[in-house]
């Protein structure tokens, strides 16, 4: 998978908006969607930039904790345990050769996945 796709999937599965933005309850309802969307895009862009600039060695060595620490140091503003989970997801997905097929009617995403298994 591409780094963009890995990050997007990690955000989709591991990002908890309420925990990441505890003040979200104070945002007026009319502004909430835009605020959250901007936050998610900022997180995705920040993580992408960090991984492209400094993350290659962590991806190659499968060091999710090192990638997480690098993201935190670079200013990715997420709780450390949440960011670590996202980095672990990115590590898992970065090894796969996957192609998006479709979103099902019940909200699931279908991918074609090709991977190598070591037994």
**Exposure letters 67-76 (e unless 16+ CB within 10 A, then b):** bbbbbbeeeb
* Confidence category of residue 108, pLDDT binned at 50, 70, 90: confident
**How far apart are the C-alpha atoms of 55 and 68, rounded to whole Å?**
10
Q: How far apart are the first and last CA of the chain?
A: 22
pLDDT tens per residue, range 33-92: 999 999 999 999 999 999 999 999 999 899 999 999 999 999 999 999 999 999 999 998
Contact (Cβ atoms closer than 8 angstroms) between residue 51 and residue 3: yes
């Amino acid at each position: 998978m591409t780094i963009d796709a890995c990050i997007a999937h990690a955000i989709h599965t591991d990002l908890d908006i309420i925990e990441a933005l505890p003040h979200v309850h104070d945002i007026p309802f009319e502004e909430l969607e835009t605020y959250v969307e901007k936050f998610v895009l900022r997180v995705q862009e920040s993580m992408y930039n960090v991984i492209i600039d400094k993350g290659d060695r962590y991806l190659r060595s499968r060091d999710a904790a090192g990638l997480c620490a690098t993201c935190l140091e670079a200013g990715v503003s997420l709780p450390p345990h949440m960011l670590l989970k996202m980095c672990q997801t990115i590590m898992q997905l970065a090894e796969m050769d996957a192609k998006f097929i479709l979103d099902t009617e019940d909200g699931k995403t279908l991918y074609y996945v090709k991977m190598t298994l070591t037994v």
